[in-house]
Structure 1
Amino acid sequence: MTQTCPFCQQENSCTASSGDCWCFRLSVPSSMLALLPAEARNRDCICQACVRACQAAPDDFAARVRQR
């Protein structure tokens, strides 16, 4: 797993390899996963800030991602 969020390029603070990570307790929206390139799915860890931003305003988040 990568340590950089594919959306914001910031540290994602993933600790999934330890068996306990914040991402185990937070649901990642399927609409967010659909924005990931196929090669990044199940490989790149998304940061908590981006997950929360997408949960709060999914259309705004998608629009920002598509502008990049």
Structure 2
Amino acid sequence: MDKVIDPSKCPICGDPNQCAQEIAKATGTPPERCWCITETFSSEVLDRVPEEAKNKACICSKCVITTAF
């Protein structure tokens, strides 16, 4: 059985990821520019995302900041 991925939660820690696209969907408002657009994601961060969640949920800023580059 496939695990259901919540796109509003970080696939690494499970906290809200503050994805502008998901906030817009939830509130019915136009999306704002997301914080992640200008962020650099190291391979260490990306490697922590479970395979089933890749390209399905955004990583939160806390996980990006706390993972070594």
Structure 1 length as normaliser, TM-score? 0.68
Contact 2:12–2:48 under 8 Å retained in 1: no
Contact 2:10–2:17 under 8 Å retained in 1: yes
* Number of residue pairs the alignment of both structures matches: 56
What is the CA-CA distance between 1:42 and the residue it aligns to?
Answer: 0.8
Name the counterpart of 1:24.
37
Q: Percent identity?
A: 36
Name the counterpart of 2:12.
7
Contact 2:17–2:61 under 8 Å retained in 1: yes
Name the counterpart of 1:53.
66
Q: Structure 1: which 5+ residue stretches go unaligned? A: 59-68
Structure ID, larger Rg: 2
Cα RMSD between the aligned structures?
A: 1.9
Structure with more helix by fraction:
1
Structure 2 length as normaliser, TM-score? 0.67
Q: Structure 2: which 5+ residue stretches go unaligned? A: 1-5, 23-30
Contact 2:45–2:63 under 8 Å retained in 1: no
